[in-house]
Amino acid sequence: MKIASLNGDWKLYYHPEEGGLPINPGELENSGWSSIPAKVPGNVELDLARAGKEKDPFFGENIYEYRKYEFFQWWFVRDFTVSGLKSEGSYSLRFEGLDTYATVWINGAEAGGAANMFVAHSLDVTGLVREGKNTVAVRIRSAVNEARRKEYPVNLFGSERSDEIVWTRKPASSFGWDIVPRFVSAGMWRDVSLDWEPPTRLREVYWAVRSADSRRAALRVSFRFDTDETYLDGFSVRIRGVCGESEFGGEWITKFVSDGIDLVVDRPLLWWPRNYGPQNLYKVSFQLLHRGAVVDERTENIGIRTVKIHTEYDANTVGEFRILVNGVPVTAHGTNWVPLDAFHSRDAERLDRAFEMVDELQCNIVRCWGGNVYEDHEFFDHCDRSGVMVWQDFAFACSSYPVAADFVEAVTEEASAVVRKLRNHPSIILWAGDNEIDQLYLHRGYTLDHAYHNPISREVLPAVVRNHDPYRYYLPSSPFVPADIRNDYRVPEQHNWGPRDYFKGDFYKHSTARFISEAGYHGCPSKTSLSRFISPGKMWPCRNDEWNTHDTDYIRAGKREYSRIGLMLDQVSSLFGEIPERMEDFILASQISQAEAKKYFIERVRLHKESISGIIWWNLLDCWPQISDAVVDYYFSKKLAYHYIRRSQLPVCVMMDELEEWHHRVVADNNSAVGTTIDVTVRDGDTGERLLEERGVKLEPFGSVCVGKLRALPGTQRLYVMTWSQGGSTWSNHYVSGYIPVSFERYRTWLGKIEALELPFSSEDCVK
């Protein structure tokens, strides 16, 4: 129970970590150190900018001025008042997010510490907190200095040549990534509060679905409670679950502090992914009683559903990777979920707008990428309500991590806390051990014995999932490369990056993936957005230091192996045979290139969904102003690709396939549980000539139909417009045929017709 919120105004002292640390908060006033006001939740960089000590970290090359603060220590101090202290139970200071190496004092006495940014920390302050005025102080040490005191055998290495990643339980992306700037930050990035807990209380309640169909569901609820009662007689639990007219529940005596109950729900209302059925959620209450009186209660929403990840891995075949929910194969389409903000204290304020776009794009899956933090309940509540399946990576990415006993212990505690916190959300369909570490080892030429090279993903994390969430699927790595396979493009689930050349080139066209969990293409932000982070004199041409900084070239001393700006220029040149000289023309050309690429990736999956079961494209939203694969920039300005994806991910969509044997197939695909009948027309985009018309095309639930074939000569450049009517509404899509290069001026003419179709948009708004 929260007694007092400690969010809001604090005082922040800061100084380089040299000459030792102060022993206690009492030394701060006479330390001579700098001090400024601070906000909690917050990040120290934001406090510095707010106080005028540094410039906007997101503008120009200002980011480099923040490098020195990686070697500072930070002291946060504030007073708070408590009234009506209870003599029974316990008090704790709860930090939902503490970044990262911290020691906490209350009223001059040390209360405890923390060394992990990802999980909440509750420090027992019973006997330390007092009636009336209290003072709390939090010292946060330099994460980089902590890391450089560690050992680094040659087999330990971090992504982007940042070995400090591997020992530090911060998101890997905070040390710099191709989509995230390097801010090795500090602060209290989530809520802080003083909490009170009664002596008898529930510690955890776990809801699991053992089996379910429309007739019957078998549930398992496991629980654990604490009590200071001498004897364990007289305890019972009362359960009630309600969803519409469906109810279940009862009351059971429990003899011990840990127990489990099997429940049966007749004719359950099932939870489904978006467009596959309703997102039925049962409101469940779990009450702990002692001698008939309720002493504690948990209330939450759960979904009754089964999830199976059907996989086949074989060194001789590509195999299979397919998601089945309630026994129904799902064609997945959605986005990789990366940091919402480079400063995670601002994640929460960006969540609602981001999720509005997830819903508008009809995404039915998001992959929570392993270089990020773990999202809070609000994110998963959105997914539960909207029918968005969640693929949840553990927070390990593109690096070789230690196997020292203390690190393994810390990882076990972290993963256990995360799983216990989130496991009751029906939207979570799997836990994945990491992002691209199997692939990393393979590319470094190791003979793969993953239990030897990476026991974190092969031993530690699966043991956590087995112990705390045994009914949910665990995937060791994304992509998962078994020890007997020597090519990461010979496994069914793949990250399709490759050379990042023309989006219909051989790599993309001949991809062997059965499920694509990453694929992206670059697109330039609008001119207005660029002007918010690039100096007026550096706006154009684009090959300059400020553009490179937001590429993201976060270390001046060295560049990455590739430049997103360079790739973007090459991709524009490939599609149009030229790079426009005017800035506005280049922005438009880049956004067209990105939009057509994302459209091609998604529609290729839908056109071949019998063999390719899903795509999670990269990515929805930027976490800072940059040049990237995101289809929405940091300022929530939508690029052209956003609008193309919106049409390509409609539940019912008519598409054209690539030319084969002189013909383009026209395919209607239904990615929903509702059968329908549509009328289809295909016209020439220039002349309006009707090329195909089929009325009364019947689409079964989840079905696809070849509506017809259109003959074409190879290489003929043409705009096709597909229109279909369904239930009194009309929808449209387009297709551009022919070999590259395409005339930029001709495509601009086509674009005027494309943007006027159903779900209209303004390309000018995307560019200006």
Residues 65, 169 within the same domain: yes
Residue 319 Rama label (left phi>0; alpha psi -120 to 50; beta): left
Tell me the two tokens of residue 693.
């018309």
Tell me the two tokens of residue 445.
């030429």
Residues 113, 260 within the same domain: no
What pLDDT shows up at residue 326? 98
Residues 247, 296 within the same domain: yes
Instruction: Let me know if 214 is exposed, middle or buried by CB neighbors in 10 A (0-12, 13-18, 19+).
Output: exposed
Residues 178, 43 within the same domain: yes
Distance CA 481, CA 453 (A): 13
CATH number of the domain that residue 102 is part of:
2.60.120.260
What pLDDT shows up at residue 564? 87
Tell me which residue has tokens 């937001």: 550
* Domain assignment present for 565: no
* Domain assignment present for 241: yes
Report the pLDDT averaged over residues 334-351.
Answer: 98
> Which of 166, 192, 218 is the last residue before a domain boundary?
192
What pLDDT shows up at residue 99? 96
- Percent of the chain residues topping a pLDDT of 90: 89
What pLDDT shows up at residue 25? 85
Sign, CA torsion 151/153/156/161: positive
Say if residues 391 and 367 touch (Cβ distance below 8 Å).
Answer: yes
What pLDDT shows up at residue 194? 97
Q: What is the tens place of the pLDDT at every residue in 578-626?
A: 999 999 999 999 999 999 999 999 999 999 999 999 999 999 999 999 9
Q: What is the tens place of the pLDDT at every residue in 710-731?
A: 999 999 999 999 999 998 899 9
Say if residues 442 and 448 touch (Cβ distance below 8 Å).
Answer: yes
* Domain assignment present for 150: yes
Say if residues 524 and 465 touch (Cβ distance below 8 Å).
Answer: no
The pairs formed by 451-454 with CB atoms below 8 angstroms and a separation of 24 or more are 453/155, 453/400, 454/400, 454/401
Domain that holds residue 712: 650-737
Residues 47, 180 within the same domain: yes
What pLDDT shows up at residue 371? 97
| Of residues 475, 276, 265, 303, the one with CA closest to residue 380 | 303
* Domain assignment present for 364: yes
CATH number of the domain that residue 290 is part of:
2.60.40.10
Distance CA 563, CA 554 (A): 12
Q: Mean pLDDT score of the chain, rounded to an integer?
A: 95
| Of residues 597, 618, 607, the one with CA closest to residue 517 | 618
The DSSP annotation for 173-209 comes to GGB--SSS-B----EE-S-EEEEEE-SSEEEEEEEEE
Residues 399, 314 within the same domain: yes
Residues 431, 288 within the same domain: no
CA 393 vs CA 336, 390, 411, 457: distances in Å: 11, 9, 14, 11
One-letter amino acid at 294 equals V
Q: Is the per-residue pLDDT at 229 higher than 80?
A: yes
Report the pLDDT averaged over residues 416-428.
Answer: 98
Q: What is the tens place of the pLDDT at every residue in 465-512?
A: 999 999 999 999 999 999 888 887 889 999 999 899 999 999 999 999
* Four-CA torsion 418, 424, 429, 431, nearest 10 degrees: 20
Residues 348, 491 within the same domain: yes
Distance CA 73, CA 44 (A): 10
Residues 325, 211 within the same domain: no
Which secondary-structure segment (H or E) carries 766?
Answer: helix 763-767
Report the pLDDT averaged over residues 742-763.
Answer: 97
What pLDDT shows up at residue 156? 85
Report the pLDDT averaged over residues 534-557.
Answer: 85
Residues 295, 315 within the same domain: no
Residues 265, 351 within the same domain: no
Distance CA 542, CA 561 (A): 19
Cβ-Cβ contacts under 8 Å for 538 (sequence gap 6 or more): 60, 544, 545, 546, 547
What pLDDT shows up at residue 557? 47
What pLDDT shows up at residue 177? 92
CA diameter of the chain: 86
Distance CA 480, CA 440 (A): 11
| Of residues 293, 132, 285, 111, the one with CA closest to residue 192 | 111
* Domain assignment present for 341: yes
* Domain assignment present for 50: yes
Q: Is the per-residue pLDDT at 685 higher than 80?
A: yes
Tell me the two tokens of residue 5.
């919120």
Q: Is the per-residue pLDDT at 683 higher than 50?
A: yes
Say if residues 302 and 281 touch (Cβ distance below 8 Å).
Answer: yes
Q: What is the tens place of the pLDDT at every residue in 34-46?
A: 899 999 999 999 9
Q: How many other C-beta atoms are found inside a 10 Å radius of the C-beta of residue 490?
A: 17
Distance CA 615, CA 628 (A): 19
At 312, is the secondary structure helix, strand, or coil? strand
Q: What is the tens place of the pLDDT at every residue in 355-409?
A: 999 999 999 999 999 999 999 999 999 999 999 999 999 999 999 999 999 999 9
Percent of residues in the chain assigned helix, strand, coil, to nearest 5: 25, 35, 40
Q: CA neighbours within 13 Å on the CB side: how many for 294?
A: 9
| Of residues 272, 110, 208, 194, the one with CA closest to residue 420 | 208
What pLDDT shows up at residue 21? 65
CA 421 vs CA 27, 120, 169, 303, 639: distances in Å: 38, 10, 18, 16, 36
Q: Is the per-residue pLDDT at 627 higher than 90?
A: yes
* Domain assignment present for 641: yes
> Which of 257, 284, 302 is the last residue before a domain boundary?
302
What pLDDT shows up at residue 154? 86
Q: What is the tens place of the pLDDT at every residue in 3-51?
A: 999 999 999 999 999 866 677 788 888 888 889 999 999 999 999 999 9
Rg (alpha carbons) of the chain, rounded to whole number: 28
State yes or no: cis peptide before 41, omega within 30 of 0: yes
Structural domain count of the chain: 4
Q: Is the per-residue pLDDT at 264 higher than 80?
A: yes
Say if residues 691 and 684 touch (Cβ distance below 8 Å).
Answer: yes
Residues 635, 731 within the same domain: no
What pLDDT shows up at residue 158? 86
* Domain assignment present for 554: no
Residue 61 Rama label (left phi>0; alpha psi -120 to 50; beta): alpha
> Which of 279, 302, 325 is the last residue before a domain boundary?
302
